[in-house]
A and B are shown apart, each in its own frame.
Chain A
Amino acid sequence: MTAPARRDAHEPTPSGPGAPGGGAPATPGGTVVLGTVPSDSHTWNLVLLQLLLEECGFEVVNLGPCVPEELLVEECLRHRPELVVISSINGHGYADGLRLAPRVRARPELAELSMIIGGKLGVGGEAADRERGSRALLEAGFDAVFFDAAAADLRRYLLSGERPGEAAAAPALEEEYARGELAGASSAS
């Protein structure tokens, strides 16, 4: 599994939805705005994450491919979601994410909003980049960053209130493959 990088790695337990410092919502429910970065056209990730979030008890506003920053901001203001999930796999998630988070945070109403990003965020995959990349994205305004994570990591984050800082043991994809991932996990929901 891939442990997410957290904005506040010292927070003892994830707190409720929208809590400052951005823990995972302990009790599912409410609205999630789901989208991707402006340059990313991949959508299977969005379709799958939508189903998963719905099964976790959220109502999902799926913004679809290539979400312009303005649109994301508007939709957040309109829905006031519990959580914003940005999923990107085209390799530009890192660069686009750095531009996007400050745009959202610039709106005072959205300064405290819980907002996470994950997927295949960079082009290339050295561990060093991943760590540096996660840190930069946290600084830019995300509450948690899931570099090269699997969908199951999102589920775990939402439901279990896992503690930050657990070491990533294996590449997410391999692990996902070995475990059959969601097929087994979803019966628990």
Chain B
Amino acid sequence: MTEAPLPAVGAVDFDAFVRRRASAGALVVQPRMGFMDPEAMRAGLAATRAADATTVGTLTLDSYTRLRDEAALATALAEGRPLNGYPLTTHPPEVTARMLAGLRGPDFPVQVRHGSAVPRHIFESMIGLGLSASEGGPISYCLPYGRTPLAQSVRNWADSTRLFATLRERGAQPHLESFGGCLLGQLCPPSLLVAVSVLEALFFHQHGVRSVSVSYAQQTNATQDREAVAALRRLCAELLPEPSWHVVIYAYMGLYPVTPRGAYRMLASAAELAVRSGAERLIVKTVAESMRIPTVEENVAALEFAAAAADTVRGWTGGEVAEVDADNEVYREAAALVDAVRDLHPDLGTALAEAFTKGYLDIPYCLHPDNQGRTRSYIDEEGRLRWADSGDLPFGRGGDGGGLAGRARTVTSAALHADLHHVRYAYDADEGPADDILAAVALPALPALPPGP
């Protein structure tokens, strides 16, 4: 870092903002949004801020920035070739500062989301710009995002987290969200998602970031999802050293419904999960998800719809968090995973790398070279995600891992295709989940299907 005096950052505390709004009865909603062009990005943030919902802003970075491919960035910018996100480290800092001016502030925090296992350059840019909220983690921004060796990602993330923590010296509260609740987006049994989220939050603490959020991506069965969020909350309450944390739900991160109605149903279910499980924040998806990067308008429609759906559900529940067995199967499995990993080494980074070597953590279908690839998942008759093969996951050591008996199933392309499309088909059907919410909340004007080939 440079000696030059850095601008004061102000007191934007992402977690405090979210929890304040949540305790006032609002679900904070947030888009996944990133455009190459600063003007477009500014318009997107302005529209997010102005939306009829309690929002926070997002800067999603493009794939070249994530991988630090400077040649590709230079070519794309010179030739005006579109990128799939905002190139934060390539646009001059003044350009980004101007893009953000007057938008971000104590009432509208902006979070940077990027998916990089080599994130130092991104954190340096954020620090220079006083952007104090981001996302990631040594596992969750490595295994789903490329081929950087895990041990290297752990070192990089330890280093960047410590660097980010220095923002406190400038009066800001650096905040990190674990992406552990998503991993590959689909077909991962919830216990592993919960465990990785908790472990990464602990990792952030170990390296000096004390304001954290833990994530959980909606999966295939609403009851199992509620159990998972209950498990996540219980583990955080038990293990995190400070109370400055909240839960963020991601609307489904796998193959998304293709019909507009199906897409809104999916989002309504995600909002319902957030409200019924007591989560504070929700990241939405739009009608365009299955096909292309959404427009600003589609994002605003999704934010407003999700906020209205959440209000409707809250009207039904009176804000009561649904009762679920706190000692449920997801909790038992997740606790077994967390304990087994923490027992490996006092330095959590070392423990995490070793856990993957031993197969104590093993993500189904993940092709990353450091993932053992001995686990497989499937969707059972009730739509719950289960282990078809739990490989070397340490389930003997805590929970009984209910229903884990290694059911050997040969996976064909048709079977995998069916499991990948399970959610899409259920939500695109004539009648589907969350129809009760759709009856109560007006659907945004449904767009004509986007232009086909």
Q: Which residues of B contact A127 (CB under 8 A)?
A: 451-453
Check: B145 CB closer than 8 A to any chain A CB: yes
Question: B69: which of A39, A47, A124, A126 is its contact (CB, 8 Å)?
Answer: A39
Question: B63: which of A90, A99, A147, A187 is its contact (CB, 8 Å)?
Answer: A90
Q: Which of B23-61 contact A (CB under 8 A)?
A: none
The answer to whether B146 touches A174, judged by C-beta atoms less than 8 angstroms apart, is no
Q: Which residues of A contact B69 (CB under 8 A)?
A: 38-39
One digit per residue, 1 when the CB lies within 8 angstroms of any chain B CB and 0 when it does not, for chain A 40-65 equals 11011011100110010000001011
One digit per residue, 1 when the CB lies within 8 angstroms of any chain A CB and 0 when it does not, for chain B 72-86 equals 100110000111100
The answer to whether B147 touches A66, judged by C-beta atoms less than 8 angstroms apart, is yes
Least CB distance, B372 to chain A, in whole angstroms? 14
Q: Which of B388-444 contact A (CB under 8 A)?
A: 411-414, 416-418, 420, 424-425, 428
Extra inter-chain contacts (15) besides given A48-B417, A127-B451, CB under 8 Å: A47-B367, A48-B416, A51-B412, A51-B413, A65-B145, A91-B63, A123-B82, A125-B291, A151-B417, A174-B449, A177-B258, A177-B425, A182-B413, A182-B417, A186-B412
Q: Known contacts A41-B63, A44-B184, A120-B292; decide if A125 and B144 are in contact (CB<8 Å).
A: no
CA distance A124 to B420 in the complex (A): 23
Number of interface residues of B (CB under 8 A): 46
Q: Known contacts A43-B367, A46-B367; decide if A95 and B417 are in contact (CB<8 Å).
A: no
CA distance A55 to B297 in the complex (A): 42
Least CB distance, A65 to chain B, in whole angstroms? 5
The answer to whether A174 touches B368, judged by C-beta atoms less than 8 angstroms apart, is no
Q: Which residues of B contact A122 (CB under 8 A)?
A: 82
Q: Which residues of B contact A162 (CB under 8 A)?
A: none
Q: Which residues of B contact A87 (CB under 8 A)?
A: none
Q: Which residues of B contact A43 (CB under 8 A)?
A: 144, 184, 365-367
The answer to whether A40 touches B417, judged by C-beta atoms less than 8 angstroms apart, is no
Least CB distance, A90 to chain B, in whole angstroms? 6
Check: A29 CB closer than 8 A to any chain B CB: no
Check: B156 CB closer than 8 A to any chain A CB: no
Check: A92 CB closer than 8 A to any chain B CB: yes
Q: Which of A40, A47, A126, A130 has the most CB of B within 10 A?
A: A47
Q: Known contacts A123-B292, A173-B290; decide if A92 and B84 are in contact (CB<8 Å).
A: yes
Number of interface residues of A (CB under 8 A): 47
Q: Which of A55, A90, A95 has the most CB of B within 10 A?
A: A95
The answer to whether B416 touches A123, judged by C-beta atoms less than 8 angstroms apart, is no
Q: Which residues of A contact B82 (CB under 8 A)?
A: 91, 122-124
A: residues with CB less than 8 A from B are 2, 38-41, 43-44, 46-48, 51-52, 55, 62, 64-66, 90-92, 95-96, 99, 120, 122-127, 130, 147-148, 151, 168, 170-174, 177, 181-183, 185-187
Least CB distance, A1 to chain B, in whole angstroms? 10
Q: Known contacts A123-B82, A127-B451, A173-B290; decide if A38 and B67 are in contact (CB<8 Å).
A: yes
Q: Which of A125, A127, A151 has the most CB of B within 10 A?
A: A125
CA distance A141 to B266 in the complex (A): 41
The answer to whether A44 touches B186, judged by C-beta atoms less than 8 angstroms apart, is yes
Residue of A nearest to B67 (CB): A39
The answer to whether A51 touches B452, judged by C-beta atoms less than 8 angstroms apart, is no
Check: B115 CB closer than 8 A to any chain A CB: yes
Check: B243 CB closer than 8 A to any chain A CB: no
Question: A125: which of B66, B83, B84, B450 is its contact (CB, 8 Å)?
Answer: B450
Residue of A nearest to B83 (CB): A123
* Listed A/B pairs (14) with beta-carbon separation below 8 Å: A39-B64, A47-B416, A65-B146, A66-B67, A66-B145, A91-B82, A123-B293, A124-B82, A125-B450, A148-B453, A168-B453, A177-B258, A177-B425, A183-B414
Q: By DSSP majority rule, is chain B's interface helix, strand, loop, or mixed?
A: loop
Q: Known contacts A43-B367, A62-B367; decide if A171 and B146 are in contact (CB<8 Å).
A: no
The answer to whether A173 touches B63, judged by C-beta atoms less than 8 angstroms apart, is no
CA distance A187 to B413 in the complex (A): 11
One digit per residue, 1 when the CB lies within 8 angstroms of any chain A CB and 0 when it does not, for chain B 129-151 equals 00000000000000011110000
CA distance A47 to B368 in the complex (A): 12
The answer to whether B450 touches A65, judged by C-beta atoms less than 8 angstroms apart, is no
The answer to whether A177 touches B424, judged by C-beta atoms less than 8 angstroms apart, is yes
The answer to whether A125 touches B451, judged by C-beta atoms less than 8 angstroms apart, is yes
The answer to whether A47 touches B365, judged by C-beta atoms less than 8 angstroms apart, is yes
CA distance A44 to B146 in the complex (A): 13
Least CB distance, B145 to chain A, in whole angstroms? 5
The answer to whether A92 touches B367, judged by C-beta atoms less than 8 angstroms apart, is no
Least CB distance, A140 to chain B, in whole angstroms? 14
Q: Known contacts A48-B413, A183-B418; decide if A124 and B293 are in contact (CB<8 Å).
A: yes
Sort A-B residue pairs by CB-CB distance and give the 9 closest, nearest first: A171-B452, A51-B413, A186-B414, A66-B146, A64-B367, A39-B63, A91-B84, A52-B413, A123-B82
Q: Which residues of A contact B93 (CB under 8 A)?
A: none
CA distance A55 to B410 in the complex (A): 13
Least CB distance, A179 to chain B, in whole angstroms? 12
The answer to whether B414 touches A130, judged by C-beta atoms less than 8 angstroms apart, is no
CA distance A122 to B76 in the complex (A): 13
Q: Which residues of B contact A51 (CB under 8 A)?
A: 411-413, 416
Check: B369 CB closer than 8 A to any chain A CB: yes
Q: Which of B359-373 contact A (CB under 8 A)?
A: 365-369
Residue of B nearest to A45 (CB): B420
Q: Which residues of A contact B67 (CB under 8 A)?
A: 38-39, 66
